[in-house]
Chain A
Amino acid sequence: MAIDKETVKYVAHLARIELQPDELEKLSGQLHDILGFIDKLSSLDTGQVNPSSHILPLSNVLREDKPADSLSPDKALENAPAKKGNFFSVPRILE
């Protein structure tokens, strides 16, 4: 399956990754090759097969509704690149 530059650009936008023009060029070529290789899967007949979204036969894993300690705001914000008081701060969202 061919993947063109426009598609790569769109997917990069979905993933919120800015690609430089030379990156876009190179990546499109590489992805094209990789997808070509992945295409060998289409030769398999998977009609009767169930998808394995989990490899373990686990089910119904749940937790009791009992409160436990939370982090202090200091600890929560310790790694924040930008903060204001006890809030995480991000550049203004343009609405």
Chain B
Amino acid sequence: MTELNKLTAHELLERLKDKEITSGDIYSALQKRIKEVDSKVKAYVRLDTLNKLANQRTNEPENELKGLPITIKDNICTQGINTECCSKILQGFCPPYDATVINKLKNAGAEIFPLKANMDEFAFGSSTENSHFGPTHNPWDKACVPGGSSGGSAASVAADEAIWALGSDTGGSIRQPASFCGVVGLKPTYGRVSRYGLIAFASSLDQIGPLAKDVRDCSLLSQVIFGYDPNDSTSVNQDVPDFSKSLTKDIRGLKIGIPGEYFVDGMDAEVKTIIEEAINKLNSLGAVSAKVSLPHTEYAVPVYYIIATAEASSNLARFDGVQYGWRAKSDNLIEMYKKTRGEGFGDEAKRRIILGTFALSHGYYDAYYLRALKVRTLIKQDFDAAFKDFDCIVTPTSPTPAFKIGEKTQDPLKMYLSDIYTISVNLAGIPAISIPCGFTKKGLPVGLQIMAKPFDEAMLFRVAHTFEQNTDWHKSKPKL
């Protein structure tokens, strides 16, 4: 019998509906797998919770997700389960409330897996190397990073240590690890998924999204977590379509834009070839691809690193040892603040907070923050124009496959530039998905990114599902 943890959510839901298996069986399979491989992958953190909260289930939920476990990134508040953003400064924080998405999942009958997924501290990173608990290892090559910041979520799904997972994406933190780990990852349109309960990095860019083994699972999970939330002022009151209707496997006549700015020097040659082949595949399936220009692409990374760090510097001001988390010993308040934050935050966190504080400070606000907000408008306008002529835009998710652990940690700027293909999407607020589309000679996954106009996730699922069902990339599994 196939181990249950290796199946997709939709396959498991069938068996659960037919009462062939129980959700407890799935849970046990996951536990077994974690004990087998997590010491190598390190997708999860604070593993002592696994046995503490094991099997508290009494009866099988009847709701649509039928007790299926889901893995949650460590920056999404889960009541009664520590949520620490993999940072020392939030050590021990146990939220007294559930994030809205967690409520939605529970109402749909899902089981919140008690172990949280590893991440770059406060989502600051593209490799999960900035975690207080140490890096996650890419299941396809343990010497490589899984990507970040949702590296734990992506790796757990790729390693079958999770059926599916939630991550968060501010500049590519779902899509890039999805591409490095060979799984499907979606960043929804900004405002589609409630941010209430997501520990904020950059408020105008953050979105929670699904990581899954295939597009169908991704659309199923999206169906549950999408929707208006009156507790989030930036949540959009927009109908959520029935995404099952998007899985038509038909993309004939769809117009696909290929931005020239995303195929430049510095891009890995193998990645280039694989992506070109994927585009050919889409064309062979009836889509029509053509060049499109997104002229302000080169400004996306600098704009992002001003806006995101500025917002982060303010969002993270609350971590000061007063009400929760770790507090440094001191007998005077100012020293307590400074020591708590100096010792509680990792290097990348400190770097970003200081950069963001600088960008907002007196005398620099206009030149940095205000200017970045204006360029953001230009970037959005690029996409608005492109979507007038195209149904979707296709690009590589990352300029390279997964890099080696330690390869980019000495050079922050180098690390920032690995987000080059994903960042514009967050700045423009549009949805985008990454799906596996090939492997390098060394066996590392390569991801194809599809972008659509705001609220058109249906288009993403349609194109992604069609491609996936006409290839086998999603069926490969790493050897662990």
Contacts and interface: CB of A to CB of B under 8 A. Distances in A.
B341 interface: yes
A34 B413 contact: yes
Interface in A6-38: 7-8, 11-12, 14-20, 23, 27, 30-31, 33-35, 37-38
B324 A15 contact: no
A37 B323 contact: no
Nearest to B372: A41
Contacts of A82: 327
Given A40-B298, A90-B333, A27 B354 contact: yes
Contacts of A76: 96
Contact of A40 (B299, B343, B354): B299
A58 B327 contact: no
Contacts, number: 166
B324 A79 contact: yes
A27 B299 contact: no
A17 to B, nearest CB: 5
A93 B333 contact: yes
Interface string B417-436: 00000000001110000000
A11 to B, nearest CB: 5
B313 to A, nearest CB: 6
B378 A79 contact: no
Contact of B375 (A7, A46, A58, A63): A46
Nearest to A60: B233
Contact of A18 (B92, B236, B339, B428): B339
Nearest to B95: A79
A63 B354 contact: no
A26 B159 CA distance: 37
B273 to A, nearest CB: 29
Nearest to B343: A18
B380 A52 contact: yes
A15 B354 contact: yes
Given A17-B345, A37-B302, A40-B302, A79 B94 contact: yes
A46 B351 CA distance: 28
B305 A80 contact: no
Contact of A14 (B332, B357, B413): B357
Contact of A17 (B305, B354, B378, B427): B354
B94 A78 contact: yes
Contacts of B342: 17-20
Interface stretch (B67-75, B126-134, B363-371): B363-371
Interface in B22-70: none
A15 B313 contact: yes
Given A17-B354, A18-B341, A38-B306, A80 B324 contact: yes
A93 B335 CA distance: 10
Interface residues of A, number: 53
B325 A81 contact: yes
Nearest to B430: A55
Contacts of B376: 51-52, 55
Interface residues of B, number: 70
A58 to B, nearest CB: 7
B375 A44 contact: yes
B461 to A, nearest CB: 22
A75 B96 CA distance: 7
Interface string A55-85: 1101001010000000100011011111000
B361 A17 contact: no
A23 B299 CA distance: 29
Contacts of B412: 30, 33-34
Nearest to B345: A17
A81 B428 CA distance: 40
Which one of A3, A44, A92 has the highest number of Cβ atoms from chain B below 10 Å of its Cβ?
A: A44
A40 B236 CA distance: 34
Contacts of A86: none
Contacts of B92: 79
Contacts of B190: 55-56
Nearest to B349: A17
Given A41-B303, A52-B377, A92 B333 contact: yes
A78 B306 CA distance: 35
Contacts of A56: 190-191, 234, 236, 429
A58 B327 CA distance: 38
A27 B350 contact: yes
B332 A51 contact: no
Interface in B280-339: 296, 298-299, 301-303, 305-306, 313, 317, 320-327, 330-339
B94 A34 contact: no
8 contacts: A8-B354, A31-B354, A44-B296, A46-B375, A52-B376, A55-B380, A56-B429, A94-B333
Given A27-B350, A35-B355, A91-B330, 15 more contacts: A18-B338, A37-B302, A40-B299, A41-B302, A41-B372, A44-B371, A44-B375, A46-B374, A50-B374, A50-B377, A51-B370, A71-B96, A79-B92, A88-B323, A90-B333
Interface of A: 1, 3, 7-8, 11-12, 14-20, 23, 27, 30-31, 33-35, 37-42, 44, 46, 49-56, 58, 61, 63, 71, 75-76, 78-82, 88, 90-94
